[in-house]
Amino acid sequence: MTAAASIEITTGDGHARAGRLRTRRGVVATPALMPVGTAGTVKGLHPDEVRDLGAEIVLANTYHLHVRPGERVVRALGGLHAFSGWEGLILTDSGGYQVFSLADLRSLDDEGVTFRDHVDGSPRRLTPAVSIGIQQTLGADIMMALDDCTGRPDDRAEAERAMRRTLAWLEPNLEARTDPEAALFGIVQGGVFDDLREESLERTAALPFDGIALGGVSVGESRDEIRRVIARFGPRLPADRPRYLMGIGLPEDLLDAVAAGFDMFDCVVPTRHGRNAQLFTRDGRINIRNARHREDRGPIDADCACPVCRRFSRGFLRHLYVSGEMLGPRLGTVHNLWFYLQLMRDIRQAISERRFDAFRAGFLARRGEDGP
């Protein structure tokens, strides 16, 4: 069977690689950041704004769309693309992250997970077959296998239990797919334990998943452990399939991940921080609410060409946030997404010119951060 998603590498620079992710709906330049649109929307932004900022693919949340409005409603309204007005690619997570994030509202067993609905408390059951069925009904271009994402990655017994359960669910995820054009990615788990990760990777890569993701990273580990796991396992993922690092989103983390050969990323950091007055610049992050910005006529970042920096001052933006005006979080989100998507454009350019290491070192040095 022809893969429903494939990766074409156009340039390699060490482990870093630039290329094209191909799916049934189109092509995405890689390395690529996927803005998070949990409920089918990147919070506060029109889909055209997200596109114009440079995004080609977004991530939507299977569990939350299942709860509200329900996948059958989405299907009746034309599928997730028509429903949300987004014409690019959509990747749906499996609900596995909610095993971690909604730990107080769920119970796990060897067949799946039962949630107490966070809206009305009603029971919701996810198994590999149910998760894949929801994602197919939504009309996702790339689906994720249901996995067990432990919140205790440094507890060996917990990490191994989650990894074993994730492995047991691999084939049921594959067997549940009935749409051969919808790509399906497997997920490697194992916490901070190399032998568990190695076993998970070997068994996941042996199956016909269209891409491979590294999951369970940045869920409680130290910064050093995160960097170590990324550096060790990125180059070990199959080179002929898309490599996806899940849930990583600080700029320095993205650079670490690109250096390790990953192609795809998602994180709520740029949008969540934008809503909370934490704005990214090439010199570091600023809190625009701080009083020192009150009379500042300058832009967020003098080197930024985003629509916000071209038009508005720090002083005005601070006023919006302090006054509770909804335009503030909107503009902060626009700026942060531009910053991140421009970073990805710069990374792709640096790889294509085989100067990624120099670019990475210069970016970190300007922000006063240590390099690799």
What amino acid positions are annotated as catalytic residues? 93, 266
Residue 290 main-chain phi, psi, to 5 deg: -60, 140
Residue 309 token pair: 């920096």
Question: Residue 271 in contact with residue 42, Cβ under 8 Å?
Answer: yes
19, two tokens: 């290329």
Say how far apart CA 2 and CA 181 lie, in whole Å. Answer: 9
What whole-number distance in Å separates Cα of residue 6 and Cα of residue 181? Answer: 12
Length of the chain: 372
Q: Which residues contact 68 (CB under 8 A, 6 or more apart)?
A: 39, 119
Q: Which CB contacts under 8 angstroms, 24+ apart, belong to 195-200?
A: 196/156, 196/159, 196/160, 196/163, 197/229, 197/232, 197/233, 198/236, 199/163, 199/167, 200/163, 200/166, 200/167
The candidate with the shortest Cα–Cα distance to 1, out of 136, 180, 134, 149, is: 180
Distances (CA, A) of 157 to 161, 221, 290: 6, 15, 44
Cβ neighbours of residue 283 closer than 8 Å, sequence gap 6 or more: 301, 366, 367
Angle, alpha carbons 163-168-171 (nearest 5°): 125
CA 255/CA 259 separation, integer angstroms: 6
**What are the φ and ψ backbone dihedral angles of 195, each rounded to 5 degrees?**
-65, -35
Contact between 186 and 212 (Cβ < 8 Å): yes
Q: Which two tokens stand for residue 356?
A: 């990624």
- Angstrom distances, CA of residue 195 to CA of 53, 152, 211, 217, 246: 41, 17, 21, 16, 20
